Amino acid sequence: TIAAVILGIIIGVALRSLKCSTDDRIDGCRITKEDIIHIDFPGQIFVNILKMLILPLIVSSIISSLAQLDAQSAGKMGVRAIIYYLATTLIAAIVGIILVLTIRPGLRVGTVQIKPDSKAAEGRTVDTVLDLFRNLFPDNIMEAAFRSFATDLKVNRTLIAGPNGTSYNKTIYKATVVKRDNINVLGLLLFCIVFGILISRLKQKAIILKHFFEAMLEVVMQLVRIAMLYSPIGIFFLIVAKILDMDDLRDFLGSLGLYMATVLVGLFIHGFIILPLILFIITRINSFKYIRGMSQALVTAFGTASSSATLPVTFRCVEEKNHIDPRISRFVLPVGATVNMDGTALYEAVAAIYIAQLRGIPLDAVKIIVTSLTATLASIGAASIPQAGLVTMVIVLNALGLPAEDVRIIYAVDWLLDRFRTAINVFGDSIGCAVVQHLSRKELNAPVNQETTTAVTNINDPDTVRRMLLSANTEYDTGTPNGTVIYPPNNLLSTTHDNPAFTNSSEINNDDQANNIYKTNF
């Protein structure tokens, strides 16, 4: 997959000399806009496959993981995950602010020309916050699978009547709540979290539901493994098509080059210095091995520019290569893909101050603090889809008193920075899994559910003991009081000796082992 990215960049740059400036093949050019669409086709197929798996993956992973934990343990893990998300996102925003104030990219370049055909993001802070809460509580959970709430601002009037028969121009927008074709991830997350916790509380009454979602998750993960066979091809064509679709490289790197460098340096510092340092200090895990285990997910994030689309690959990397407990990853990753946006927070902080520098607006300490906090909160509200940070960027600009139209200044380079910050977002989610797992060892090592633990006391009949010890998927835990037999539910907890949930356990395979345990402990 890494080779596909490198090869895609090389071939994309090489083919730019054959790109046509118009839709016709004139002056010896060979590649038109239509050809670029055709080149992008295999990559779009790959992205569609990943997006197809998002919904079943989120639903099955969260419900199955929380169904294995009691409500108290799930609550503690959730609090730890949220604290980690907020802390790292705020740190990322602060790193971006320090860099942009030190490098001052907006004071070292001339005026940036705003293209009239660029897309400006329109929006208001209050509308974004209200949309966030509307999506948390969808009115139809089935509809939430393909639609979400959004505030649509429409021009109501531009000519305002003034005193004495005068008039003046002022654009007034009318806010209308609409539903757009997009997965309501926040609503699904909240529903699945509550649903999974209630399955855990109902215990045996909901055991069929629990097994259903566990089986569903296994099937989805098998589909992910199949999809990954196609990833090098898909990512290669995505990169080639995007490079061919770029505007003039000299203009691209000229006016906004220093701004891009500031963002990229910040992302590098946060992703490869701060996050690995947090990982090592808290867990003592080798950061280099962990990064290597996440390489496929990071490359996929770069190619797709979507945390949600990368989610299936992220699951596979953290569980199979970095050996994170599935009960942690299946809960932390879907939530993190929605609310943990370290790279986005850093980018928004840098971009807002960069635009202020271009306009010659001085920033005092209060405005800088407001920028860091606003960038943190705005990144949480950013959907995990390509270039969503450009929309929430309006919130940060409003906090600094800058017009929303200024987003167009950085629009030309956002597509590239979006890919780098998405990779950092995904990496931050994976680090969160390791941190939460380390801090939740006590909850993970506890018996999963009360109904899965059977106390055997004062039994003198060896045949009865042997029958219980030889039951399917049973283990005797020598660390518990005499006569306690633990039944791991549905093979989810492995019967191997290195399973962290049964560090003191012995696997029971035959009558001789059962007799030895009985003689020793009963």
Note whether 412 and 256 are within 8 A (CB).
Answer: yes
122-164 pLDDT, tens digit per residue, is 456 677 678 778 888 999 989 988 888 877 767 665 555 556 6
Q: CB 176: neighbour CB atoms within 10 A?
A: 10
pLDDT of residue 230 exceeding 70, the answer is yes
In the chain, what are the domain boundaries? 2-114+188-442, 447-521
Percent of the chain at pLDDT exceeding 70: 72
Token duo for residue 182: 């997009």
End-to-end CA distance of the chain: 56
Structure confidence at residue 167 (pLDDT): 60
CB 96 within 8 A of CB 343: no
DSSP string, 14-28: HHGGGB-SSSS--TT
Any residues with CB less than 8 A from the CB of 251 and at least 6 apart, and which? 412
Rg (CA), the chain: 27
Residue 475, pLDDT score: 39
Q: b/e map of 228-256 (b: 16 or more CB within 10 Å)? A: beebbebbbbbbbbbbbebeeeeeeeebb
Instruction: Say what the pLDDT of residue 96 is.
Output: 94
pLDDT at 507 > cutoff 50: no
Is the model's pLDDT at 277 over the cut of 90?
Answer: yes
Please give the pLDDT value at position 118: 38
Q: What is the pLDDT of residue 58?
A: 84
Q: What is the mean pLDDT of the chain?
A: 77
What is the torsion angle, in degrees rounded to the nearest 10, for the CA atoms of residue 374, residue 379, residue 383 and residue 385? 130
Per-residue confidence (pLDDT) for residue 500, from 0 to 100: 40
How sure is the predictor about 217, in pLDDT bands with cuts at 50, 70 and 90? confident
Instruction: Determine the angle formed by the axes of helices 207-228 and 185-202, rounding to 10 degrees.
Output: 140
Write the pLDDT tens digit of every residue in 92-105: 999 999 999 999 88
Percentage of residues in the chain with pLDDT exceeding 90? Answer: 26
- Maximum average pLDDT range among 1-5, 22-26, 230-234, 399-403: 230-234
pLDDT reported for residue 482: 39
Query: With 90 as the cut, is the pLDDT of residue 425 above it?
Result: yes
How many other CB atoms are found less than 10 A from the CB of residue 102?
Answer: 8
Pairing of strands 147-161, 453-455: unpaired
This prediction's pTM? 0.70
CATH topology of domain 2-114+188-442: Proton glutamate symport protein (1.10.3860)
pLDDT value for 429: 95
Q: Highest mean pLDDT range out of 173-177, 482-486, 495-499?
A: 173-177
State mean pLDDT over 311-326.
92
Amino acid 115: pLDDT: 43
pLDDT of residue 156: 62
> How would residue 319 be classed by pLDDT, with cut points 50, 70 and 90?
very high
Q: Are 337 and 83 in contact (CB under 8 A)?
A: no
DSSP symbol at 478 = T
pLDDT at 125: 61
Name the residue among 165, 328, 342 with its Cα closest to residue 271.
342
If pLDDT is split at 50, 70 and 90, which confidence band does 69 have?
confident
Residue with tokens 């959907």: 383
Interval 199-221 mean pLDDT:
90
